[in-house]
Amino acid sequence: MKQILNILPMLIFFIFYKFYDIFVASGSLIVTSGLVCILHWMFYNEIDKISLFSFFVVSFFGFLTIFFHNSQFIKWKITIIYIFFSIILLISQFSTKKPMIQRFLEKEIKISNIYWRKINFFWSLFFLFCGILNIYIASYFSETTWVNFKVFGFTSLTFFLILVTSIYINRKISKDK
């Protein structure tokens, strides 16, 4: 259920973009992101920190997009989020005993700390790469291409990295046994 809630704003943004324009889609993204926070509270008695952070960033850049009637603001939103994730993972990599990825997944997955550090670092690089890639696509391609890549390209890249990470973890688990 949480995964559906987390992708809902992106899907609503895409649908409204296809039927209207980037400005209506940006407004729908703000509303849907807020709704996701409310639904997290209703179903889980807490607001997911990532959803809350995303809501504030979406609201800020979405408002700027609508107010100034300039789509560049909403295009930068995803870069800000990806760079933020990259920095948080890097900080946890070098300043804490347990990297952030390990804190999220260690209850379900038991592997050595060294492997968690490798996974954490790789995900940090992935988010940095996606942030830079978003800037490139937003700057050099059409708005429609950017929207399609934002929805399908980044989703595909993320699922691919989840698959690669899962294979890596499974190999390390079987190696440890």
pLDDT bucket at 177, cuts 50 / 70 / 90:
low
Residues 140 and 173 placed together within one structural domain of the fold? yes
Q: Write down the pTM of the prediction.
A: 0.85
Looking at 25, 54, 70, the residue that finishes a domain is: 70
Looking at 38, 53, 70, the residue that finishes a domain is: 70
Residues 98 and 137 placed together within one structural domain of the fold? yes
The total number of structural domains in the chain stands at 2
Residues 9 and 96 placed together within one structural domain of the fold? no
pLDDT, one tens digit per residue, over 32-91 is 999 988 988 888 888 877 788 889 999 999 999 999 999 999 999 999 999 999 999 999
Residues 41 and 108 placed together within one structural domain of the fold? no
Secondary structure (H, E, C), the chain: CHHHHHHHHHHHHHHHHHHCCHHHHHHHHHHHHHHHHHHHHHHHCCCCHHHHHHHHHHHHHHHHHHHHCCCHHHHHHHHHHHHHHHHHHHHHHHHCCCCHHHHHHCCCCCCCHHHHHHHHHHHHHHHHHHHHHHHHHHHHCCHHHHHHHHHHHHHHHHHHHHHHHHHHHHHHHHHHC
Q: What is the domain extent for residue 95?
A: 76-177
Looking at 51, 70, 89, the residue that finishes a domain is: 70
pLDDT, one tens digit per residue, over 113-159 is 888 999 999 999 999 999 999 999 999 999 999 999 999 999 999 99
